[in-house]
């Protein structure tokens, strides 16, 4: 009897072993594809955008897409590098930070962005350094006779940025494109080695204790919405944020409530992948699908990419554009 039970037990173990080996041999068990978003796109207003993107990815690869929103920019980068997320929609700087990481050089790849009429040169958005209209800083700028010309690097811009000395300034997150990388470059142009030389290294801006010419802080909620409220409600004198985030939960009505000190065109954010976890076949299917996708061809859920309240696409003429790593090189240089 014992011998018979032993034989059955060994047979069961053998079967289990064969099952595991067969599973490994015939490929990875089918799983959901995980699509990650930053906290900035995690609010209810962006639900249609999130759902629309997931729906079209599902249409491309025939697999269920699980949407996940991280609680910080850094968490999304870490999850993508670890393969806990297969795809992400984010700003260009989060992609760059993952791609340039030693863990991401071989397996992180940018896929597509979006732009009017499918024109890559127009695939950008406005990033601002601003103060609230009629704030003390705004009044000081006007009293000083500084002009309103917004030419990047122009005399008026430099003089306005100089007025930030000894003021309170807020970035969004040290991983943000328009909320840190771009405004840091503007500040460094004025106060760094090419300007007044009061800042020795642009990286110091990420460490408030190293900057003694202004009081630097970061968005209390780690996103653009939090920074907009911080500036609007007088928590700081000026700060950085970008268009597209005047949604529910933001006290300001829009950019008309702010005075712009400087602005830049920032490359639109990409959808990017961990190729190892996503799979090369899925990557190619996604490229083909979105390269040919337009509003008229989208599913009903997918149409929300163009029509939902919080969408980042500015109109039905916006199309998705396959891009290479070099499209975001400008952010590396900043």
Q: What is the pLDDT of residues 81-92, one digit of tens each?
A: 999 999 999 999
Q: Report the alpha-carbon distance of residue 247 to residue 263 in Å, rounded.
A: 21
- Average pLDDT of span 178-202: 95
Query: How far out from the chain centre does Cα 152 lie?
Result: 23
Closest by alpha carbon to 113, among 330, 281, 266?
266
Vertex 155: Cα angle to 327 and 183 (nearest 5) = 40
Q: What is the DSSP letter of 326?
A: G
Taking the alpha carbons at both ends of the chain, their separation in whole angstroms is: 76
For residue 158, pLDDT over 80 is answered with yes
Span of 64-68, 204-208, 318-322 with lowest mean pLDDT? 204-208
Instruction: Determine how many CB atoms are found less than 10 A away from the CB of residue 280.
Output: 11
For residue 170, pLDDT over 90 is answered with yes
Q: What is the DSSP string of 97-146?
A: HHHTSTTTTTTEEEEEEEEETT-GGG-EEEEEEEEETTSHHHHHHHHTT-
Count Cβ atoms within 10 A of the Cβ of residue 26 and give its class: 0-12 exposed, 13-18 middle, 19 or more buried: exposed
Q: What is the DSSP string of 163-198?
A: TTTTSEEEES-TT-IIIIIHHHHHHHHHHSTTTT--
pLDDT attached to residue 224: 95
Lookup: tokens for 252: 């300001």
- Average pLDDT of span 99-126: 94
* Residues belonging to the chain: 334
Vertex 52: Cα angle to 51 and 58 (nearest 5) = 85
Span of 2-6, 255-259, 329-333 with lowest mean pLDDT? 2-6
Owner of token pair 């939902």:
308
Q: What is the pLDDT of residues 231-269, one digit of tens each?
A: 999 999 999 999 888 888 899 999 999 999 999 999 999
Q: What is the pTM of this model?
A: 0.83
Q: HSE, CB side, 13 Å, CA atoms: give it for residue 225.
A: 18
Q: Report the alpha-carbon distance of residue 60 to residue 322 in Å, rounded.
A: 15
Q: Per-residue confidence at 30, pLDDT binned at 50, 70, 90?
A: low
Q: Report the alpha-carbon distance of residue 150 to residue 153 in Å, rounded.
A: 8
Q: What percent of the chain has pLDDT over 70?
A: 91
CB 190 within 8 A of CB 158: yes
Coil, strand or helix: which one is 274?
strand
- Average pLDDT of span 281-296: 98
Q: Which residues are CB-neighbours of 308 under 8 A, at least 6 positions away? A: 46, 47, 48, 49, 52
């Amino acid at each position: 009897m014992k011998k018979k039970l032993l034989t059955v037990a060994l047979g069961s173990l053998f079967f289990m072993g064969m099952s595991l080996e067969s599973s490994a041999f015939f490929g990875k068990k089918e799983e959901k594809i995980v699509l990650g978003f930053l906290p900035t796109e995690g609010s209810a207003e962006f639900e249609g955008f999130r759902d629309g993107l997931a729906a079209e990815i599902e249409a491309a690869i025939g697999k269920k897409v699980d949407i996940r929103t991280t609680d910080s920019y850094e968490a999304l980068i870490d999850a993508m590098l670890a393969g806990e997320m297969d795809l992400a929609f984010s700003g260009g700087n989060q992609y760059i930070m993952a791609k340039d990481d030693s863990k991401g050089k071989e397996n992180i790849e940018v896929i597509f962005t979006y732009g009017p009429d499918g024109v890559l040169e127009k695939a950008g958005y406005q990033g601002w350094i601003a103060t609230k209209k009629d704030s003390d800083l705004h009044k000081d700028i006007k009293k000083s006779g500084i002009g309103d010309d917004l030419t990047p690097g122009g005399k008026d811009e430099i003089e306005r940025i100089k007025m930030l000395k000894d003021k309170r300034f807020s970035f969004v997150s040290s991983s943000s494109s328009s909320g840190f990388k771009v405004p840091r470059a503007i500040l460094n142009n004025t106060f760094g080695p090419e300007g007044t030389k009061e800042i020795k290294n642009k990286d110091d801006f990420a460490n408030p204790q190293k900057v003694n010419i202004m009081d630097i802080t970061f968005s209390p909620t780690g996103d653009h919405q939090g920074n907009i409220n911080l500036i609007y409600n007088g928590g700081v004198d000026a700060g950085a944020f970008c268009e597209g985030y005047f949604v529910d939960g933001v006290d300001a009505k829009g950019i008309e409530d702010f005075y712009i000190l400087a602005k830049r065109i920032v490359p639109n954010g990409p959808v990017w992948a961990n190729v190892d976890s996503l799979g090369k076949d899925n990557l190619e299917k996604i490229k083909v699908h979105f390269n040919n996708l337009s509003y008229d061809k989208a599913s009903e859920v997918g149409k929300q990419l163009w029509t939902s309240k919080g969408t980042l696409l500015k109109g039905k003429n916006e199309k998705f554009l396959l891009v290479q790593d070099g499209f975001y090189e400008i952010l590396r240089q900043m």
